[in-house]
Amino acid sequence: MTAVADPALADAGLALADATPGSVFAASVLQTGFFAGLAEFLRPSNLAGVLVNGLAKSALFVMIAAGLSLIFGLLGVLNFAHGSLTMIGAYLGGLVMVVLVGGATGAWARLGYFLVALVVVFAALAVLGLVVEVGLIRQLYDSPPIYQILLTFGVTLVLEELVRIVVSFYGLQPISDWQEALGTKPAFLARQTTLGPVTVRGLALFEILLGALTVVGIWLFLTRTRYGLFIRAGSEDDEMAAALGIDVRRVFTVVFALGSALAGIAGALLMWDPVWGASVPLAAETLLPAFVVVIIGGLGTFRGTVVGAVIVGMADAVTTWWFVNVVTWTWLPEVTVFLILVGMLVVRPQGLYGVEEVGGH
Amino acid sequence: MSRHQVRVLVVLALAAYPALYHLLTQSPVGVEAETLLPRMDTMVALLYFGLFAVSFDFISGYTGYLSFGHAAFYGTGAYFVVLVANGKIPLVPSGTPFMITLLCAGLVAALLAVGIGLVSFRLSGVYFAMITLGFAQVLYVFVRGLEWISSNPRDGASVSGSTHPEGFEVGVPFVDGLNLAIGPLSGDTVTLLGHTLGTNAVSFYLVGAVVLACYLAMQRIIHSPFGQVMVAIRDNEERAEAIGYDTFRYKMGAFVTSGFFAGVAGGLFAGFRRSVTPENTFYFLVTGDALLASIIGGFGTLAGPIFGHFFDESIREFLSPAGQGGGLLPYLQTRLSEGVLSAEVGGLTVEGFIEAALNGHASLYVGIVFVLFVLYVPNGLVGAARDRLGGPVTEKLPDRLWDR
């Protein structure tokens, strides 16, 4: 995921990139040194570029992790199949786009078709989630939580291999990004856009927009609708909610379907992003950051997930800038993200906004 | 002594496998045998990876702490052996006898387990699984990017022919006559009574000896008072603590022991294969394979993971992509006529169907079996047999077979 250099970042950086690859540790810092790099980093145009990219990444992370967070919060199931659902969403979204979009399709029509793709993916993944919950997970609510992890892990294996079979049957390479789907982007999203002092990818702005809409949508759903009330009640104390006459099992099913659908639309968005793209390994690539985001924010709080996504997204963008422009440590962004996870678990295991009891801790 | 009978039988059955495989593949049912039986190098993989799965089960199945980053120890052991052979580790020169390197590999992994355990055991449940996974992923990314390891760390590292051309020898260190090299290419062959054992068969016995020793050691620990406390922690940690056991120390002890054996397993893997990649050592799906083996074989039974992994490997090899040893497609190609293979059902030939839906897609079927096991046989093969017999299989099975 993050090890791939962001093209926009490479553009934003100056000619500092004459690093000597092949060097190790201390020698990896450029001749210009740490402080020159810092000065460069603090220039307003670079800082603004990093900020926009960080927000775009945060938006992606929040979309990837929102469903996982909802499901864990209510059902207490850490869904290992979440990444696979995202991956299926990416392929499905790509399929809709490739079928609908021709070479002559205009930019706005493409955007319209993308909305169609989002609806299709949302519906299809919701049905898939429904089937998985009713058919499999429902049988294990009374087992130790470890068995739910194991079950969803098995579901991942099956789903990934099924996708691999289908995708290779139609002559696509399962491990590389689906180029044809990438090509269905409207031209104005693929271009670099100049916004005041900074140059950013159009797609980054689109991602921020979609991420913000998703957050607002979930927020309104949770706080302003009756079903959202049920979900919040169930997350806090499902036995009490059941005692008050809420059909908690049905709420469980709805939330699992909803979470799966959210994973799917995140995938549909990633399908357009050249850094991610629709491929089978996308499942693992998205699953791990999603875990990190949800755990940093606190299992079972949506607010925590949003804040966690912003933290991870920003850390990722900043370290990616440093890796592209100052140091040659390819591992820097990913290691930073996981070090944040480890640090958070040590200092505050329940996460930023988590409650201690959630998750059988 | 009856409880040893079953164990001895299992070990004997494994020991007879190379001869059996040789005989059956030469016999009239040779093609069938080659199709169904795992090849010898797969059997070696079964042993070292089985040891890793057992070490995973040792901590996860017996204390109930799911060590989802266990691949970190396997990878550490594997990379350590390769780096020692390439002369990259100070104080341990390239010519160090493999048995000593192996021991060091285990110790380094154990040291890592101390570090990870000190932090991780402050947590429990899902959080413990996630933090260990986090550590393993950090190491995975790190190893992928560290150019000190090899010129292209993303593709892993292999034992260099210039610093360590000879095979890794298992045996008594410093006694030349009591050592034999392992490896499919660089290993030794042995001629006994006019029969020549190939490199894979020799490796099978040597790796098997190390694995057996490790297994017996872990078995001893599980059946010691220390192991009883581990089980007590799994069943009810608060009670174990209330009785007066310092559970943190027991958990650390179990984790470090488990890390040691995982490191040895990784070392054996590297010694046999002579090359390692981040994907087949540190990646979280490596832990996933151990998990698979443990669940199918029996979570919380020491021998279970080996059987579980045997099942996994057999299916994978049976459905391996065409051209890789025995398997379903080569068998059908030799046995069925061209007409049957190219018969079309709904626009899809039989051969095409096997190629598209079966070959190389063993994960699908293993995954389905895994899901069914989680749902319906949560104790796995050995655990289910234990429930059926009303006690440990090694104790109850002989009674069933001979006394009644």
CB-based contact (8 Å) between B353 and chain A? Answer: no
Tallying the residues shown for chain A, one arrives at 361
Q: How far apart are CA B262 and CA A2, in angstroms?
A: 29
Domain extents in chain A: 7-353
pLDDT-wise least confident of B9-18, B218-227, B238-247, B320-329: B320-329
Distances in Å between the Cα of A228 and the Cα atoms of A76, A134, A252 are: 17, 21, 12
Q: How far apart are CA A307 and CA B324, in angstroms?
A: 49
DSSP H helical ranges for A23-81: 33-41, 44-75
DSSP H helical ranges for B121-196: 125-145
The whole-number pLDDT of residue A285 equals: 87
Q: Which two tokens stand for residue A233?
A: 């009640």
Nearest chain B alpha carbon to A160: B364
> Which chain B residues contact residue A343 at CB under 8 A?
none
Residues forming beta bridges with residue B190, ordered by sequence position: B197
- Domains, in order of start, for chain B: 2-319+361-403 (1.10.3470)
* 111-150 in chain B: CB under 8 A from chain A: 119, 122-127, 129-131, 133-135, 137-138, 141-142, 144-148
Q: Rounded to a whole number, what is the distance in Å from the CA of B73 to chain A's nearest CA?
A: 18
DSSP letters along A139-189, please? GGTTS-HHHHHHHHHHHHHHHHHHHHHHHHHTT--TTS--HHHHTTS-HHH
Please name the residues in contact with A206: beta carbons below 8 A apart, sequence gap of 6 or more.
A189
In contact, B81 and B263? CB cutoff 8 Å? no
ipTM: 0.82
Q: Do B363 and A147 touch (CB under 8 A)?
A: no
The whole-number pLDDT of residue A262 equals: 95
Higher pLDDT residue, B401 or A294?
Answer: A294
The whole-number pLDDT of residue B321 equals: 66
Q: Which two tokens stand for residue B404?
A: 């009644």
Q: Rounded to a whole number, what is the distance in Å from the CA of A189 to chain B's nearest CA?
A: 31
Q: Spell out the per-residue pLDDT of chain A, length 361, in tens.
A: 444 444 433 333 333 333 333 333 333 445 467 777 787 777 777 888 889 889 999 999 999 999 999 998 888 888 889 999 999 999 999 999 999 888 777 888 888 999 999 999 999 999 999 999 999 988 888 887 778 888 998 999 999 999 988 988 888 888 888 888 888 888 888 788 777 777 788 888 899 999 999 999 999 999 999 888 888 888 888 888 888 888 888 899 999 999 999 999 999 999 998 888 899 889 988 988 898 898 888 877 889 999 999 999 999 999 888 887 777 777 788 888 888 888 887 788 778 887 665 444 3
> Which chain A residues contact residue B357 at CB under 8 A?
165
DSSP assignment letter at B64: -
Q: Rounded to a whole number, what is the distance in Å from the CA of B234 to chain A's nearest CA?
A: 12
Q: Which two tokens stand for residue B217?
A: 């050691």
Residues forming beta bridges with residue A200, ordered by sequence position: A193
The whole-number pLDDT of residue B216 equals: 93
Q: How far apart are CA B54 and CA B67, in angstroms?
A: 12
**Which value, in Å, is the radius of gyration of the alpha carbons in chain A?**
21
Q: How far apart are CA B73 and CA B67, in angstroms?
A: 11
Q: What is the pLDDT of residues B144-153, one digit of tens each?
A: 888 888 888 8
DSSP assignment letter at B39: P
In contact, B332 and B323? CB cutoff 8 Å? no
Q: How far apart are CA A65 and CA A58, in angstroms?
A: 10
The whole-number pLDDT of residue B256 equals: 97
**Ramachandran angles phi, psi of A199, nearest 5°:** -110, 125
CATH number of A7-353: 1.10.3470
Distances in Å between the Cα of B244 and the Cα atoms of B19, B222, B233, B235 are: 52, 20, 12, 15
Nearest chain B alpha carbon to A358: B126
Identify which of B391, B200, B212, B368 has the alpha carbon closest to the alpha carbon of residue B296. Answer: B368
Q: How far apart are CA B169 and CA A323, in angstroms?
A: 42
H/E element holding A270? helix A248-270
> Which chain B residues contact residue A346 at CB under 8 A?
119, 122, 131
CB-based contact (8 Å) between B349 and chain A? Answer: no
Q: Which of A146, A165, A345 sits opposite B123 (nearest CB)?
A: A345
Q: Which two tokens stand for residue A102?
A: 């021709």
Q: Which of A157, A168, A349 sits opposite B123 (nearest CB)?
A: A349
The whole-number pLDDT of residue B190 equals: 77
Q: Rounded to a whole number, what is the distance in Å from the CA of A331 to chain B's nearest CA?
A: 5
